Amino acid sequence: MGIIDQTTYTLTCPKCGASESQKVLDKGSNWSGSWWQSGASFTHFQTTWDGEGGPVEPKLSIATCKSCQSKAQVAIS
């Protein structure tokens, strides 16, 4: 089993400057197919994800800074 695809989410708080990156991975193999993780956990941000992973990549719907409660800026790569 290996990593087939990945998406990196970088969250930055415009108010306090906190920044953090996490990857959401699509894992699998030629024999068992692939499945996406259900999202990523962040230390400095509270996040809500749409979708449960599996065959469809989850989407980040809400990201809020835990320190100052500001809405995070999101960069996806």
Q: How far apart are CA 69 and CA 15, in angstroms?
A: 9
Structural domain range at position 47: 2-76
Instruction: Give the pTM.
Output: 0.90
Into how many domains does the chain fold? 1
Q: pLDDT at position 30, please? A: 75
User: What are the pLDDT digits (tens) for 21-43?
Assistant: 999 999 998 787 889 999 999 99
Exposed, middle or buried: residue 61 (CB in 10 Å: 0-12, 13-18, 19+)? exposed
